[in-house]
Structure 1
C-alpha cells in the first residue's frame, strides 16, 4: 500500500510541475514580456481594472502587538476589487492619523508587506502580487527612516554624486520594508515662491534639476528592477505644476508650447533617460487641457517621442478632478475614460477607474486601452521578480534602516545644502570660547527642521540648531530663549530674548517658516493642508499653504529688530521652505545663512558651519526676491533684460547660483577648443587662494548672441562642485555638445544654428569670472 501511495505522490507531483510549466506567467525562465502577455490573457475585465487602481494603503493592515496582519478592508480590496497597487501603506502623519504608537516600525512594516503579499498570492485566483508605492521626496515617509533635507536643500548642494548616494539609501530603506515604488524626486520648475511646494523642488533651473533628478534616479537603481534595492522612480509632477497662476497650488499654468519644451520637459526627459519608470500627472491645466487628460503630452510625447516604457499615474484623485475641479467631464465615468484614453495607466485614489467597466459598456473606452495599461504595470512586477519572491526579511529591515552610515550621509547632505549669504567682517566662523544666545522660533523646533511629507519622529532623532550648538560648547556658554512663534502673536518673550542677548557675546537667531503638520489642522482629500484662521500653528508652507506675501510672520520681525538694538554680533539663520523676505537681515545682520529644511541632521550641520568645522559651499537653486512685486524673478529670463522699477532694482536680492565660503577662489586662463562639428571643450584654472580647504561650485553659462527665436539672457549648461586645499590649483574642463547649443526653432525643430556664443564661467549667475566666445560655423 505504501508503494502505491508513494507512486501516486510522485505522479501528482509530476503533474503539478508539468501544469506549472504550462502556465507561462508562473515560469521564471520565460521573459517578462511572455509572462505578462500570458497573464493578461487569463484575466477577467474586473481583474484587469483592479491592476489600474491605487487606493490609500494605511488601512490595509492591523497591528497586533509585535505582529501585523492584513485587514478586512484589504481582503475586500483584493477579493472584489482585485486591486493591484496601494499607495502609502507605511505612511504616518497627522492626515493618516498614524503615530509612533499605532504606526509601523521598519520591522513591523516588513511584516505588514509580507502579510499583504501572502494574501495576494495565496488567496486570489491568479496570485498576482501587489505593488506598494511610497512617498520619498527627502527620505521614505515612514517611521524610523532617514530624513534628508527637502528638495530645495538637496538642490543647493549642486552635487550629483552625493544625491545619487542619497537616492540609493532611500531606495534601499523602501525595499527593505517591502515597498517597490518611490514617489520622487519632485522636478517641477519653480518660479513663484508664493506657491506652497517650492521646498519639494530643485528650484528654478531645468539643467540643474535634470542633472539632480537623473542622479537620484540612478541611485534608485536606474530602472534595473532585478537589482535587490531598486525602486521604480516616480517623477512628479507632469507638467508645469510649479508656476501656478497667482501662486495657488493646482491652478492653471500659463506657459507657451516652446517654453514647455525648452524648460519644463527636459528634467523629466533626463530622469527617464536615467531609468525612471513612472511619471505622475499634475493637478493643473495648460492652455485649457488638464494635465491628467492631455494626450499630446502623455501619449504623443511621452510614449511616441520619448519611447517611455514605464507607467503613468495620476496625482491623488486628479482623475476625479477632471469632473470636480476642471469641469471637463460630467461624471467619474467620463473622467476615467478621458484619463485612460489620454495615456494615464493608474488612477491614484482609484475612484474614477472603478467606473471603467461601465465606460467600456458605453463605448467610452476600448479593451485594448485597458490591456495596454495593465501590461505596463504587470511587466514591471515581473521585472522586479515579485511573482517569484515578493517577501522581505523583517530582521534586515530592523537593522538596515537609518543606520549610522545613512545618518552620516544625511549629515553630509545637510552640510552641503547650507548657503552662506552674508559674512560681514568675517564674523563667521565663531570661536568656541564665546557665550552664545540661541534665540528664535526655529532654534529648537524639531519638526520645523523637516519640511512637509515627513513621518512622526522619535525623541532625539532630530537635531535642532540648539542641539548642534550644545554639541560644540559647554552648557554654561549657552542661553536659549524662543523669543516668539512663527505665526502665533500671543506666544512672545522678546524681552527675555533681549536680556539673554545682552548677557552673551554673540546672538544666533533662527527664524523663517514651517511645513510641520499638526493634529489640529484639517486636510483635503488629497492630503493638502487647509489654511484656517482658527488654527494658529507654525505651518506657513507645505502643500496647500500658499502665501500672498513673503514676509516673516508673527512677531519675528520685531524679535530681529530688538536683538539688533543690543549691539551684539547678530547671526541670522533662516529655516524655510520657500525664499522668504530677507531684506532686513541682509542689511542688518552680521552674518546670514539659509539652511532650508535641513532634515534630521540639520542642527549638527548648521553648528558645523557656525563654528568652522565645515566650510559652507551651498549655492542657491532659486533666486531670492526683494519684493513680491518683482515676481517672477528668475535668472534665465528671455531677452531683453528687464529694466529696473521706479522703487527698486529688477534684480533679486540674492541670485541663482549664489553662495559664500570661508575661503576664496581665483579663476584664470579660460580656453575654448573645438573638438568636433558641434562640440567644444571649455577649460580654465581654479585656485584656492585662501587659508581654508573648501568647495567651490563652478558654473558654466552660455548666451546665444543671435538666434531665430528669442533666447535667455544666459543659461546654465554645466556645473561641478570641486574641493581644493589651500593654495591648490586644478585645471577643469566642460564639454559643450550639440545638445547644449541647440534651440527649438520657428518650425519647432531642435537644431544648432550657426553663430557666436558667449561662454561664461562663474561662481553665480550674477558673478561671472571668465568669459570667452565660441563660433558654430
Structure 2
C-alpha cells in the first residue's frame, strides 16, 4: 500500500527530468548511504518531509529531518540517533513481545504457580484450564478485530511502548493485513513513530496445529509439515518454499517468524517432533540453511521476513520425552559424551552461517546429574534455563559460534516457565536473562519490572542500549521505518496465487515415502482399478467420520474414475489413512508412540480391514510411531507428514513416482524406545533399534522405495530473465522396464502459466521421432502428440526426446516463480498396450529487473514509453491485461506514481 501525498506526487513528476539519468536501482536499507534511490514511503498519521526532491517520514513530528528518519544514512547511524532519543521506558518496552489476537479464542500459556498471566489479552482473572493450558474468559475474545486493535494493541503501544506482537489467529490474508495496518497506524502516532514488528509461528504447513509452534494454516499456500519437507531431501525446494512463504507473509505485514526448529529430534517420544526436520544433524543443517535464505534472502532487506531460529542449543533430547513447557520436563539430558556438540549444535551453526536474524533458547535447563561430559576438563553447566544461562548464550552462542544477531527468549520465561530461577523475583529474573545475553523477552507485556531492574542497578542502561540497538537494526533493515503498511487486496492475491500452490503440491508429492509395496500393488493404474471397488477410511482419535467423508469427496472430485464403496464386503481394495496423535504430556503417565486408543488408532479395526481386502495403509508420521502391528498385514505401507489429498492420490495412482526418504528411524518396538539414548539419532543407536518389516527392510533414516516403472523427466533452465527465450528438455527414464516393445507413440499435455510464459514451439531431439501435433486446448495447456516413424525408430532407451521452447514474459507485479509440467503422459508400445507415466515438473525462477517492462534487462526510456502509453488505464478498462504491466505499484490503475517510479529507475 503506497500512500504519498498529492504534493509529493506532483513533486515526483516535476523532478522526472532531473532524475532520469541519475537514480540508481532501489537497494536494501542495510546498505543505504547518501545518493540511494527513493524507497517506497507509506504513512497514515505523520507528515511527509520533502527535501531535495526526496520524501521522508517525519516520525517525531518536529518538522525537521532527524538522522533516524533519513533513509540515506547507514543503519548504524540511524540506530544510534534513535536510541539517543529514547527514554528508558521506551527502550524496555521494545524489549518485550506480546501475544496478540484478532478475536478468535485461542489458548495462552498457563501462569506458573504463584505467577500471573503474562499476556495483555490474558490480564483478567477469569482463567480456566483446558488441555494443560489456561485460557482467559471470553469477554475480550468476542470483540471485533478493529476493537481489539484499538484496545489491546493501543494500550501496549501507547502506554507500555511495546513494538513486537505475536499473531495467534488465522484470518484471511486480507483481514490480517487490515489488522496489521491498524497496529502500525497506532505505532506511527506515538512520540517517535517507531513501527511495530508483527511476528508469527509457521503458517504454511499441513498437520496438527498447536500453541507455540504452528498455530495457523490454510490461508496461505499449503505445504507438507516440516518432517515432510525434510523427507523431500531437497534444499533447493526448501529455499523456494521460504521465498514463496516470505512473499505471502510480507504482503500481509508479517515481518518476523518464530521458526524454524533447528532442534535435532533424538527422542522419538517428544511431542514437538513434527516441528523439526528429523534426526539428522546434516539434513537439519541443510534445510535450516535453505529456509533461512528463502525467507530472509542472501541478506536481510525490505522484502525479507526475518527468522528466529529455535531452540538453542537444541530441544530434541528429552527426559522420557517430556517437554520443558511443563515443570516435569525441565531437563535437557545429555547422557552420551560429546553429544551436545556432535548432534545438537551443528544445525544452529548452519543457521548462523545463513544469517538468521535471531536465535531463541529453549525453556529447558541442564541437569548435571543426567549428563555425560560435554565440556572440556570435566566442567559442568549452571543448572538454569537456557535463557538465563550466560555460558550458553554469551560464551557458546556469541563468542564460540560467532552469532551477531539478537537473542529472543521463548514465551513466558519470566512468569510461566522460569526454570532454575524460580526462587528469584520477576525483577531478578529479568536481570538474570538480560545479563546472560537475552535481548527480547517473549510473552510478557509489562516492562515495569525490566525498568525496575535498571533502576535497582541490576542491569546497566548500556546493556539495555545494546539490546535495543540489535532490535532496531533489524527493524530499520526490514524497511519498516519507511514502509510499514501493506495493501490488503494485494496480500490476498498473493496468498491465493495458484502458481504458489502448484509448487507446494509438488513438495507434497516429493514428501511421500513408500515403505512397502507387496506384489507391486501400487501404483493403482487404470488397468489395476478396472472392475475394482475401493473402500476408504480414516482412522484417528476424533472426527474420523468427517475426515473420511472429506477424503472420499476429494477422491471423487479429483479422480472420478475410482469407484468407491462404503461396503467393505463388496470392496476389492482398501485405502486406510491412519492419523495418530500425541498423548497429553502429564507428570503421572508415560508418553508413548505405540498405536492404540491413547494415540487414536483402532488397531483391531485396521487389522480387520487388512484381513478382508488388500489394503494400502497410509500413516501420518508426526512422530516415529511403532507401526509394526498395523503394518505387517497391509499390502502396501506409505508414510506422509501432513499432506493434501490430491498429491497423495497422484503418488498412489502413479502420476508421480515416490522418492521421499524417512527423515528419522522408526523404532522396532517399545523395548527399543525404552532403551534408546535420548540424545543420539536413531541411525547411531544399536542396530536392534530400527524396525524391520517382513521383507527385512530396515525403516531407518533415509529409507524409501519407488516404483519400478518408466518415468518422465523435464530438465533445463531453472532461472530465466523476463523477455528471454529458454528451453526445457523432455525425456524418459527406465523406459525398458515398462514398455518391452519400445515406444511408438506418446500423448502428453504441457501446462504453464500464460501470464508469465509464452509457449513458442516443440522440436524433436531424436532422429525418427516427429511431433505430430501441438494443439492449444486452453490458455496455458498444449496437447502434444509425438510418434516414432518406422519400427527402427522405436524408443527403447532412456534419454531426452523433445525440446520445449518458451519465452519468459516480463513479470513485474507477478509471481517470482513459474511452473511447467507435463501431465497425462501416455506411452504406446505399438501392440495396443499403453503405459501412463507420472507427471514431469520444473519450477522456473523468474529473474527480472524492477521496472524493466520490455524485458531488455535495463530500465530505459522504452519502459517509460510503455507506462506513458497505458497512462490513465484502470483495471476496468477494456484490454487491461495488455496495460496492467505498466501498473508498477499494483493499485489497479496506471497513474503518476507508476510514471514517476519508472523514471526514477532509469539508469
**Common fold by TM > 0.5:** yes
- Pick from 481, 485, 506 the counterpart of residue 391 of structure 1: 485
- Pick from 125, 130, 151 the counterpart of residue 226 of structure 2: 151
Shift of 1:227: 4.0
Structure 2 runs not aligned, ≥5 long: 1-48, 103-120, 122-139, 206-213, 369-382, 711-732, 740-794, 801-907
Shift of 1:232: 0.3
The 1:244–1:62 alpha-carbon spacing in structure 2 relative to 1, beyond 3 Å, is closer
- Pick from 214, 230, 234 the counterpart of residue 289 of structure 2: 214
The 1:652–1:48 alpha-carbon spacing in structure 2 relative to 1, beyond 3 Å, is farther
Shift of 1:349: 0.9
In structure 1, what is the equivalent of residue 384 of structure 2?
289
In structure 1, what is the equivalent of residue 264 of structure 2?
189
- Pick from 603, 607, 621 the counterpart of residue 645 of structure 2: 603
CA distance, structure 2, for counterparts of residue 261 and residue 557 of structure 1: 40
Q: Which moved more, 1:25-34 or 1:13-22?
A: 13-22
Shift of 1:81: 0.6
In structure 2, what is the equivalent of residue 335 of structure 1?
429
SS of equivalent to 1:285: coil
Q: Which string of whole-angstrom CA distances, capped at 9 and with x for unpartnered residues, describes residues 515-560 of structure 1?
A: 7xxxxxxxxxxxx977799xxxxxxxxxxx9833422335621112
The 1:340–1:589 alpha-carbon spacing in structure 2 relative to 1, beyond 3 Å, is same
CA distance, structure 2, for counterparts of residue 729 and residue 261 of structure 1: 45
- Pick from 84, 94, 101 the counterpart of residue 163 of structure 2: 84
In structure 2, what is the equivalent of residue 136 of structure 1?
202
CA distance, structure 1, for counterparts of residue 390 and residue 158 of structure 2: 33
CA distance, structure 1, for counterparts of residue 307 and residue 337 of structure 2: 26
In structure 2, what is the equivalent of residue 739 of structure 1?
none
- Pick from 90, 95, 99 the counterpart of residue 52 of structure 1: 95
Shift of 1:629: 2.0
- Pick from 555, 560, 572 the counterpart of residue 505 of structure 1: 572
CA distance, structure 2, for counterparts of residue 40 and residue 208 of structure 1: 41
SS of equivalent to 1:180: strand
In structure 1, what is the equivalent of residue 406 of structure 2?
311
The 1:66–1:246 alpha-carbon spacing in structure 2 relative to 1, beyond 3 Å, is closer
Shift of 1:234: 1.3
Q: Which string of whole-angstrom CA distances, capped at 9 and with x for unpartnered residues, describes residues 175-229 of structure 1?
A: 111110012111211122211111111110000000011111111023633242x
Q: Which string of whole-angstrom CA distances, capped at 9 and with x for unpartnered residues, describes residues 674-709 of structure 1?
A: xxxxxxxxxxxxx9587369xxxxxxxxxxxxxxxx
Alignment of 1:8-47 (within 5 A): 23-47=66-90
In structure 1, what is the equivalent of residue 506 of structure 2?
412
- Pick from 232, 240, 262 the counterpart of residue 306 of structure 2: 232
**Mapped contact 2:198–2:256 kept (Cα < 8 A):** yes
In structure 2, what is the equivalent of residue 629 of structure 1?
671
CA distance, structure 2, for counterparts of residue 475 and residue 161 of structure 1: 35
SS of equivalent to 1:350: coil
- Pick from 440, 453, 466 the counterpart of residue 538 of structure 2: 440
- Pick from 648, 654, 659 the counterpart of residue 699 of structure 2: 654
- Pick from 268, 278, 292 the counterpart of residue 203 of structure 1: 278
In structure 1, what is the equivalent of residue 22 of structure 2?
none
Q: Does 1:126 align with 2:186?
A: no
Shift of 1:477: 1.3
SS of equivalent to 1:441: strand
**Mapped contact 1:620–1:657 kept (Cα < 8 A):** yes
Q: Does 1:428 align with 2:507?
A: no
SS of equivalent to 1:588: coil
CA distance, structure 2, for counterparts of residue 368 and residue 40 of structure 1: 11
SS of equivalent to 2:310: strand
Shift of 1:49: 0.2
Aligned residues: 593
Alignment of 1:454-603 (within 5 A): 465-471=551-557, 473-474=559-560, 477-480=563-566, 500-514=567-581, 547-553=591-597, 554=600, 556-566=602-612, 568-598=613-643, 602-603=644-645
- Pick from 662, 666, 674 the counterpart of residue 620 of structure 1: 662
Please provide the CA RMSD for this pair: 3.8
**Mapped contact 1:320–1:335 kept (Cα < 8 A):** no
**Mapped contact 1:625–1:652 kept (Cα < 8 A):** no
Q: Which moved more, 1:466-475 or 1:409-418?
A: 466-475
CA distance, structure 1, for counterparts of residue 219 and residue 503 of structure 2: 16
Q: Which string of whole-angstrom CA distances, capped at 9 and with x for unpartnered residues, describes residues 73-126 of structure 1?
A: 22211222100211116x23xxxxxxxxxxx3211211111111111112x111
The 1:472–1:175 alpha-carbon spacing in structure 2 relative to 1, beyond 3 Å, is closer
Shift of 1:239: 2.1
**Mapped contact 1:174–1:182 kept (Cα < 8 A):** no
CA distance, structure 2, for counterparts of residue 137 and residue 270 of structure 1: 23
CA distance, structure 2, for counterparts of residue 66 and residue 318 of structure 1: 28
**Mapped contact 1:153–1:417 kept (Cα < 8 A):** yes
In structure 2, what is the equivalent of residue 721 of structure 1?
none
Shift of 1:307: 3.0
- Pick from 464, 468, 486 the counterpart of residue 370 of structure 1: 464
SS of equivalent to 1:246: coil
The 1:30–1:344 alpha-carbon spacing in structure 2 relative to 1, beyond 3 Å, is same
Q: Look at both structures and tell me which one has the larger radius of gyration over its CA atoms.
A: 2
**Mapped contact 1:238–1:280 kept (Cα < 8 A):** yes
SS of equivalent to 1:184: coil
SS of equivalent to 1:440: strand
SS of equivalent to 1:71: helix
CA distance, structure 2, for counterparts of residue 610 and residue 639 of structure 1: 28
SS of equivalent to 1:619: coil
Shift of 1:621: 0.4
Q: Which moved more, 1:505-514 or 1:158-167?
A: 505-514
SS of equivalent to 2:254: coil
**Mapped contact 2:618–2:639 kept (Cα < 8 A):** yes
Q: Which string of whole-angstrom CA distances, capped at 9 and with x for unpartnered residues, describes residues 439-479 of structure 1?
A: 23259969999xxxxxxxxxxxx995434432454488102
Shift of 1:301: 2.4
The 1:612–1:472 alpha-carbon spacing in structure 2 relative to 1, beyond 3 Å, is farther
Shift of 1:564: 2.6
- Pick from 70, 74, 82 the counterpart of residue 153 of structure 2: 74
